[in-house]
Structure 1
Amino acid sequence: MKIGIVGLGLIGGSIALDLRQLPGYTLLGVSRRPETCQQAVARGVVDDASTEFALLSAADVVFLCPPLGAIAQTVEALLPHLTPKTVLTDVGSVKQPIVEAIAPLWKNFVGGHPMAGTADSGLDAAQKDLFVNRAYVLTPIDTTPPEAVETVAGIARSLRAHVYQCDPSAHDQAVAWISHLPVMVSSSLIAACLQESDATILELAKTFASSGFRDTSRVGGGNPELGLMMAKYNQQALLRSLQTYRNQLDHTIALIEQADWNALETRLQQTQQTRPSFVD
């Protein structure tokens, strides 16, 4: 099977690295930068690479891995080079606007979102086994051919990911809670620390910062473009989650102001008990 990958960054490069280790796949990469194409071939990330979409004319499946805001325009430029049977799938973290834009243009489009990543970007950030035991969400709609869905699901399973299917809108509301909200909260944590007016205290905070701060600030220190696209393309769901979070934060502030330690302890016990249902 010939697999095309548009965008040889963290996700596209990681998909290519894993599929290159498996029999039966030929990897074709497209990047805007000639240097990235050259590096991808030289490192064995893909079999061939080009800045031209014509390279993908023989692809059976094409993974769309550019920045979220560029996916729709990328498809418009790509379509003249594809055969009618080519399956398109994206890796964007927001699904409804992408599906609404692309599905009318290409019948064999399957919305996708591998729930994996790091704070780094670019081809150098690509790594093997990035998707192992991670959720890989597909968001087909009524008009999506089942065989196209199964083709993408089969590739995702070969990456050793756990494949799930849901409605594009339901996906966006769910990831607003567990992906997009954490980015904004984490970013706000870093911004709040920078409001410390005493330079000595601020430097001490930077010196003392350890695992707790590292864990909670990680996604806020990631790719700014990705965070911006989350907010822009999932605005309403993200606002809903942010407003609910603000209400919960106000409630915590009130408990501390009132020195209601019993209620605060109960709250912390509840969150301690609930967390494993999300992450374990």
Structure 2
Amino acid sequence: MKIGIVGLGLIGGSLGIDLRSQGHQITGISRQETTCKTAIAKGIVDRASTKFDLLQDLELMIVCTPISAIASTIKQIIPHLNTDTIITDVGSVKSPIVKECSQLWSNFIGGHPMAGTAESGIEAAQANLFTGAAYVFTPTEQTKPENIAKLKAIALDLNAVPYICDAQIHDRAVSYISHLPVMISASLIQACLQEPPDTLQLAQILASSGFRDTSRVGGGNPELGVMMAKYNRTELLRSLYSYRDNLDEIIDLIEAESWDSLAGVLKVNGEERSKFLN
């Protein structure tokens, strides 16, 4: 398949590596000429350009830009595509993207590969990033079944696990397992920073794996965190309110010294946690 990738960072570059290794012909588009040269030199793409004039013969276009730029990028590339080209994206929020972009292009299907690292840019691209990861697609009622089948085949070429679901259900689910943890983690770091200097200094010295694990996502890319909150605002607020209610219940149990009840909550959590660790 002839595939185009706009945005040759961690996700776009990693897609290029794996899809090209499976025999697909990859065309890369980047704003930076140096990124295009690097992508070609590293064998991530077959060809690359800062312009859109290489896109006419593509069967699939994958938009790997930040969420805020997905719709505007699609508007730019549409004049250069043939009418049968499938467009998908890799944004972590789907409802607003699908609503806008499916009106721009009838063959648009929202996508979200659930993989990544703390690194960014073309130098961070790596093989096998998507192996074993979920790759979610969010078609609409107007989506052609054969186009869904093509995207599922692409996910399988990446050794990912394709899932098909409604965009809103996707956004509600990821608000809990992806976006909410970022905000909780950020709040944890912020709470520590409000302690007096002597307490804060000792906490920084003593912090080990527990703090490292629970604070990791809150210390990441601030732009990405803002985009999660902005584009998935309704579902993120819903999950934050739910989390706050559950946190209040735990506070109540500790204040009341209801140790057996607290133990019960922690026991259930311990039993259920493994179901989230696929």
Residue of structure 1 in register with 2:269 after alignment: 271
1:35-72 per-position Cα deviation (integer Å, ceiling 9, x unaligned): 11111111111111111111222211110100001000
- Aligned-partner Cα distance in 2 for 1:121–1:98: 22
Q: Which amino acid aligns with 1:62?
A: M
Residue of structure 2 in register with 1:163 after alignment: 162
- Aligned-partner Cα distance in 2 for 1:204–1:49: 51
Shift of 1:20: 2.1
Residue of structure 1 in register with 2:215 after alignment: 217
Q: Secondary structure at the match of 2:26?
A: strand
1:49-98 per-position Cα deviation (integer Å, ceiling 9, x unaligned): 11111122221111010000100000000100000111101011111111
Residue of structure 2 in register with 1:110 after alignment: 109
- Aligned-partner Cα distance in 2 for 1:217–1:31: 32
Equivalent pairs counted in the alignment come to: 278
- Aligned-partner Cα distance in 2 for 1:197–1:50: 53
1:5 to 2:37 alignment: no
Percent identical pairs in the alignment equals 55
Q: Report if the CA contact (8 A) 1:107-1:145 is conserved.
A: no
1:97 to 2:91 alignment: no
Shift of 1:268: 0.5
Residue of structure 2 in register with 1:193 after alignment: 192
- Aligned-partner Cα distance in 1 for 2:201–2:57: 56
List structure 1 runs of 4+ shifted beyond 3 angstroms. none
- Aligned-partner Cα distance in 2 for 1:207–1:99: 46
1:65-214 → structure 2 map (5 Å cutoff): 65-198=64-197, 200-214=198-212
1:2-81 → structure 2 map (5 Å cutoff): 2-23=2-23, 25-81=24-80
- Return the TM-score normalized by structure 1: 0.96
Q: Report if the CA contact (8 A) 1:109-1:148 is conserved.
A: no
Q: Report if the CA contact (8 A) 1:140-1:165 is conserved.
A: yes
Shift of 1:13: 0.9
Residue of structure 1 in register with 2:224 after alignment: 226
- Aligned-partner Cα distance in 1 for 2:72–2:175: 24
Q: Where does the alignment leave 5 or more consecutive residues of structure 2 unmatched? A: none
Shift of 1:142: 0.6
- Aligned-partner Cα distance in 2 for 1:262–1:44: 59
Q: Where does the alignment leave 5 or more consecutive residues of structure 1 unmatched? A: none
- Aligned-partner Cα distance in 2 for 1:257–1:229: 37
Q: Which amino acid aligns with 2:225?
A: G
- Return the TM-score normalized by structure 2: 0.97
- Aligned-partner Cα distance in 2 for 1:226–1:58: 32
Q: Secondary structure at the match of 1:116?
A: coil
- Aligned-partner Cα distance in 2 for 1:221–1:40: 29
Q: Secondary structure at the match of 2:103?
A: coil
Q: Report if the CA contact (8 A) 1:5-1:29 is conserved.
A: yes
Shift of 1:190: 1.3
Q: Report if the CA contact (8 A) 1:95-1:171 is conserved.
A: yes
